[in-house]
């Protein structure tokens, strides 16, 4: 039988203290025969010495003396095992809030995450905290294992209560695939084999799920990014550039550009220890040679000529502060981005995020484990892709230049565009100009009020603001909903982003400033229809949170519904109904959301529709139900 190359899954386990993470992994290793005899004998002796009635499998992961004394995980422990289907690397991370930075370190390179929840305690604050962090890290697959089912008599009711609560919370997260499995790590129920103690559970075992979760589509095979680690010069006839391909693929004969010099060449050969390759792809370590001599050194980034990443000195990023000392604005530091080191400073803290409530608060400093959004200023341009598109070039760490300590880990959202980052002084000037222009303009109240329209229409006025990536399904859902509402006698108006750009907004481009003006005009038009008693359906990508918040402020509380049409970017790219993603990836469209411009998902939308799993009709049914619950429809 020919040898079949197995895929590699990187799994991170998280959860609150004493939820059983180490025990679950120990059970997986034990039941897949991935433990050496001497390892088992060692933990067996330790268990007997501590007076335990059975072998404590958690000791396989908890190797530090302090971990075994306290019965908790402190540092990240890595374990490797393989089955007939897949190779798996597990990172067991600590659950205590004090070691959040360790958890982020272990999760940063993972394809899939496993959150354990104690069936007795239910969903805890730390369970939500870790879910939010995993969402920030853009881990696409999440398994929620409800552990210790043996201690609640394998109760289906206890399991479903946790499923319902965490499902509701996960709707706010940028994780497209969430699965639930009831397990008992101590007894082995549903870990490797289906349990007879829970006949009501129809899903798969944990191991089966790990073997079959699809991670192939999660890899970025479009954007070729090759950070140079070392220049190889064994003799005067060979000069190659060694490194690990961060994303994408490359073949000999393709034209490349070296950043930051922007010198171009053609790939002559791709060499490895075993010989030359006809194609190389992400995660492979190779040596590239070119058809001509150009200056390349460690820290440079090699990319395709027609697929160049963004470049900026001012970076908009989300960071997790990982140092015991607090930060202040203008904290000077070294950014390690790929193989490059760049002098930077934290120019401004935009906000901190409360991971328990997902609310934002404003502060002038970070302390240990704080997470928030910042502006970082670099002395030279940073070449990057937004983290949502490419983890390799969208992530970085900040290093203290004096102590060499890692002080923060970050994820790049995009560039800070100077023309739209209006200073307070400039903002005041805009306000004064606006006030001056309005002095001789008087708002005329309508002779027929909104309340009078509502009484005649037999429904209340409302604004349904659909937001999401291009191709997520916003327009299709809104059109179906409008037909349903119209057939029931409702007064509606569908404001489509493309239609407005053909007329009212035809003079606007796609810079951040023009996008803001586009949404401002759309919101003002929606307000006019709202005051006339209509249900206004607005379908705009509207990628920036601040723009959507500005639109919301125009309407009374309870009448504006932000609808996040949630769909993985990869799915939207595959759909590509208008062929725009293909053009954007080829560099034909600049500032395209999801490719060369960021999208900021809603943090607390009124409604979330997962359009990759719900049909258009199901989505419209759900929205009508919501409108009835809020008494918009009677």
According to the 3-state scheme, what is the secondary structure of 117-185?
A: EECCCCCCHHHHHHHHHHHHCCCCEEEEEEECHHHHCCCHHHHHHHHHHHHHHHCCCCCCEEEEEECEC
The pLDDT of residue 593: 87
Kindly tell me if the per-residue pLDDT of 557 is higher than 90.
no
Contact between 315 and 376 under an 8 Å Cβ cutoff? The reply is yes
Kindly tell me if the per-residue pLDDT of 24 is higher than 80.
yes
What is d(CA 536, CA 613) in angstroms, rounded to the nearest whole number?
Answer: 25
The pLDDT of residue 67: 42
Kindly tell me if the per-residue pLDDT of 181 is higher than 90.
yes
The pLDDT of residue 131: 84
Nearest Cα neighbor of 266 from 276, 257, 254, 274 is: 254
Angle between helices 100-107 and 125-136 (to 10 degrees): 40
Mean pLDDT of 133-150: 87
Angle between helices 474-487 and 616-629 (to 10 degrees): 60
Q: Which two tokens stand for residue 62?
A: 């908890």
Helix (H, G, I), strand (E, B) or coil at 529: helix
Residues 6+ away with beta carbon under 8 Å from 395: 108, 387, 409, 410, 411, 412
Nearest Cα neighbor of 73 from 129, 18, 35, 127 is: 18
Kindly tell me if the per-residue pLDDT of 558 is higher than 50.
yes
User: Is residue 66 very low, low, confident or very high in pLDDT (cuts 50, 70, 90)?
Assistant: very low
Instruction: Identify the DSSP state of 598.
Output: -
User: Is residue 37 very low, low, confident or very high in pLDDT (cuts 50, 70, 90)?
Assistant: low
Which of 58-67, 319-328, 385-394, 442-451 is least confident? 58-67
- Between 78 and 424, residue with greater pLDDT: 78
Residues 6+ away with beta carbon under 8 Å from 573: 471, 581, 594
**Residue 533 phi/psi, 5° resolution?**
85, 10
What is d(CA 552, CA 547) in angstroms, rounded to the nearest whole number?
Answer: 9
What is d(CA 297, CA 229) in angstroms, rounded to the nearest whole number?
Answer: 8
Mean pLDDT taken over the chain: 83
The pLDDT of residue 356: 66
What digits encode the pLDDT tens for the residues 496-520? 988 888 888 888 877 778 888 999 9
Mean pLDDT of 93-112: 71
Question: Which pairing describes strands 263-272 and 255-259: parallel, antiparallel, or unpaired?
Answer: antiparallel
Contact between 459 and 634 under an 8 Å Cβ cutoff? The reply is yes
Which of 108-112, 379-383, 467-471, 564-568 is least confident? 108-112
Counting every residue, how long is the chain?
Answer: 634
What is d(CA 537, CA 359) in angstroms, rounded to the nearest whole number?
Answer: 27
| Structural domains of the chain, ranges and CATH numbers in brackets | 7-217 (3.40.50.300), 225-304 (2.40.30.10), 311-415 (2.40.30.10), 449-629 (3.40.50.300)
The percentage of the chain sitting over the pLDDT mark of 90, rounded to a whole number, equals 33
Contact between 88 and 56 under an 8 Å Cβ cutoff? The reply is no
Sheet containing strand 77-82, strands side by side: 77-82, 86-92, 7-15, 112-118, 141-147, 177-182
The pLDDT of residue 569: 86
User: Is residue 428 very low, low, confident or very high in pLDDT (cuts 50, 70, 90)?
Assistant: very low
What is d(CA 290, CA 267) in angstroms, rounded to the nearest whole number?
Answer: 5
The pLDDT of residue 468: 92
Q: Which two tokens stand for residue 332?
A: 């000077």
Kindly tell me if the per-residue pLDDT of 70 is higher than 50.
no
Contact between 422 and 429 under an 8 Å Cβ cutoff? The reply is no
Task: Estimate to the nearest angstrom the gap between the alpha carbon of 43 and the chain centroid.
Answer: 38
Nearest Cα neighbor of 497 from 485, 483, 484, 510 is: 510
DSSP state string for 533-590:
T-EEEEE-----HHHHHHHHTTS-TTSEEEEEEE--HHHHHHH-TTSHHHHHHTTSSS
The pLDDT of residue 511: 78
Helix (H, G, I), strand (E, B) or coil at 437: helix
Total-model pTM: 0.60
The percentage of the chain sitting over the pLDDT mark of 70, rounded to a whole number, equals 84
What is d(CA 141, CA 247) in angstroms, rounded to the nearest whole number?
Answer: 19
What digits encode the pLDDT tens for the residues 245-291? 998 899 999 999 999 999 999 999 999 988 899 999 888 899 999 99
What digits encode the pLDDT tens for the residues 326-356? 876 556 899 999 899 999 999 888 888 877 6
Give residue 388's region: left, alpha or beta (phi > 0; psi -120 to 50).
alpha
**Residue 42 phi/psi, 5° resolution?**
-65, -45
Residues 6+ away with beta carbon under 8 Å from 357: none
- Between 325 and 17, residue with greater pLDDT: 325
User: Is residue 433 very low, low, confident or very high in pLDDT (cuts 50, 70, 90)?
Assistant: very low
Nearest Cα neighbor of 299 from 334, 347, 254 is: 334
């Amino acid at each position: 039988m020919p040898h079949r190359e197995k895929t590699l899954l990187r799994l991170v386990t998280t959860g609150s203290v004493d939820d059983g993470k180490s025990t679950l992994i120990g059970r997986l290793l034990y039941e897949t025969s991935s433990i050496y005899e001497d390892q088992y004998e060692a933990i067996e002796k330790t268990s007997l010495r501590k007076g335990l009635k059975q072998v404590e499998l958690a000791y396989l992961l908890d190797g530090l003396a302090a971990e075994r004394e306290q019965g908790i995980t402190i540092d990240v422990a890595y374990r490797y095992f393989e089955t007939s289907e897949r190779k798996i690397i597990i990172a067991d991370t600590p659950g205590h809030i004090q070691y959040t930075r360790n958890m982020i370190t272990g999760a940063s390179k993972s394809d899939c995450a496993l959150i354990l929840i104690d069936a007795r305690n239910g969903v805890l604050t730390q369970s939500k905290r870790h879910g939010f962090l995993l969402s920030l890290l853009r881990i696409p697959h999440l398994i929620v294992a409800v552990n210790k089912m043996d201690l609640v008599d394998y109760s289906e009711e206890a399991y479903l209560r946790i499923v319902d609560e965490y499902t509701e919370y996960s709707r706010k997260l940028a994780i497209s695939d969430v699965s639930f499995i009831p397990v008992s790590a101590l007894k082995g129920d549903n870990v490797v084999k289906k349990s007879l103690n829970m006949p009501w559970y129809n899903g798969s075992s944990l191991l089966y799920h790990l073997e079959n979760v699809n991670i192939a589509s999660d890899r970025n095979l479009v954007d070729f990014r090759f950070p140079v680690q070392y220049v190889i010069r064994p003799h005067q006839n060979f000069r190659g550039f060694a490194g690990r391909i961060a994303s994408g693929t490359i073949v000999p004969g393709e034209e490349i550009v070296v950043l930051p010099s922007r010198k171009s060449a053609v790939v002559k050969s791709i060499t490895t220890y075993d010989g030359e390759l006809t194609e190389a792809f992400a995660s492979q370590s190779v040596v590239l040679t070119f058809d001509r001599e150009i200056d390349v050194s460690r820290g440079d980034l090699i990319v395709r000529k027609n697929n160049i990443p963004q470049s900026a000195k001012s970076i908009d990023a989300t960071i997790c502060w990982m140092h015991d000392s607090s930060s202040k604005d203008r904290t000077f530091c070294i950014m390690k981005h790929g193989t490059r080191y760049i002098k930077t400073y934290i120019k401004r803290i935009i906000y901190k995020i409360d991971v328990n409530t997902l609310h934002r608060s404003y502060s002038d400093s970070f302390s240990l484990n704080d997470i928030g959004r910042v502006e970082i200023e670099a002395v030279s341009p940073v070449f990057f892709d937004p983290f949502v598109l490419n983890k390799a070039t969208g992530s970085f760490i900040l290093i203290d230049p004096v102590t060499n300590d890692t002080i923060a880990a970050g994820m790049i959202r995009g560039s800070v565009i100077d023309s739209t980052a209006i200073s307070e002084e400039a903002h005041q000037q805009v306000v004064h100009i606006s006030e001056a222009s309005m002095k001789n303009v008087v708002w005329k109240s309508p002779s027929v009020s909104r309340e009078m329209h509502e009484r005649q229409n037999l429904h209340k006025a409302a604004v349904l603001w659909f937001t999401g990536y291009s191709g997520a399904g916003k327009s299709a859902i809104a059109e179906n909903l409008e037909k349903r509402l119209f057939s029931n006698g409702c007064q509606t108006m569908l404001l489509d982003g493309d239609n407005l750009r053909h007329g009212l907004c035809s003079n606007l481009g796609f810079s951040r400033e023009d996008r803001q003006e586009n949404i401002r005009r759309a919101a003002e038009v929606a307000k006019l229809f709202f005051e006339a008693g209509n249900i206004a359906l607005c379908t705009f990508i509207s990628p920036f949170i601040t723009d959507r918040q500005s639109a919301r402020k125009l309407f009374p509380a309870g009448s504006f519904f932000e609808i996040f049409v949630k769909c993985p970017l990869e799915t939207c790219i595959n759909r590509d109904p208008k062929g725009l993603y293909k053009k954007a990836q080829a560099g034909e469209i600049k500032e395209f959301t999801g490719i060369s411009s960021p999208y900021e998902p809603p943090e607390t939308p009124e409604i979330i529709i997962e359009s990759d799993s719900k049909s258009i009709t199901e989505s419209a049914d759900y929205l009508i139900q919501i409108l009835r619950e809020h008494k918009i429809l009677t």
